[in-house]
Amino acid sequence: MKTISENRAFGGVQGVYSHASEVCGCDMTFGMFLPEEAEHDPVPVLWYLSGLTCTHENAMVKAGAQAWAAEQGIALIFPDTSPRGPGVSNDDAFDLGQGAGFYVNATETPWAANFQMWDYITDELPRLLFSAYPLDESRQAITGHSMGGHGALTIAMSIPGRFRSVSAFAPIANPTASDWGRKQFTAYLGADTAKWAAHDASLLMKKRGFDGPILIDQGGSDQFLDLLRPEALAEAAASARQNITFRMQKGYDHSYFFVSTFMEDHISFHADALYA
């Protein structure tokens, strides 16, 4: 790995690192905050998956998460949202290609060559980090915003036992029924809609649910509500009798002002599960 930067923050270290990814076929960059406790013992981990157009940097600098993570002694990992580089396929639209990996393994040309974000997030990057840093693999939680909320929910429900808790800020909750989903799934996974169901949080909720607590915050004035479809996830959770806290936050939009407002709540929520 290559160290891009390291800065002291709240008693710990906020770093940015890059490495050659075998599954994505390019160099990948991620951010990681290690609290002071990591100097002595392995610490629990909270993964944060970012949304469309974002990189590792958005949440790292805008969410205000490090202060609350330091208070709880939790490491934060901020992966990138897609493969990048001059040899990586892209699209002129903001919601496809670089910055819009959707946390799936692409099977279609030209995306399949690099866009293997499911394997990167669930396998390659964890193996790299748990072998190199004082992180407690038995205590993991996951969260995300928008496209990253979609990724956090689908990954948590698809890998039983790995994550003690999952949360999301304004997740793309029902992508198989939304233009934020149908477009990308067609491009990355092909036209067979049966292959899409494994990446739809509302459908997964009905099918299997999650074996732990879930926290969802959704802005009531989110400009993308029709694309996010939070009502589908709420209905699926109710029908599955899922242990979930679903909060509509009046007046809040889709921005990082919204995310940062409720970040303390989410880290406290995950700390309760990670230290249980």
Render each residue's pLDDT in the chain as its tens digit; 276 residues: 999 999 999 999 999 999 999 999 999 999 999 999 999 999 999 999 999 999 999 999 999 999 999 999 999 999 999 999 999 999 999 999 999 999 999 999 999 999 999 999 999 999 999 999 999 999 999 999 999 999 999 999 999 999 999 999 999 999 999 999 999 999 999 999 999 999 999 999 999 999 999 999 999 999 999 999 999 999 999 999 999 999 999 999 999 999 999 999 999 999 999 999
Residue ranges per domain, the chain?
2-275
Catalytic residues: 146, 222, 254
CATH architecture designation of domain 2-275? 3-Layer(aba) Sandwich (3.40)
Q: How many other β-carbons are positioned within 10 Å of the β-carbon of residue 22?
A: 11
**pTM (predicted TM-score):** 0.98
**Token pair for residue 198?**
């494994």
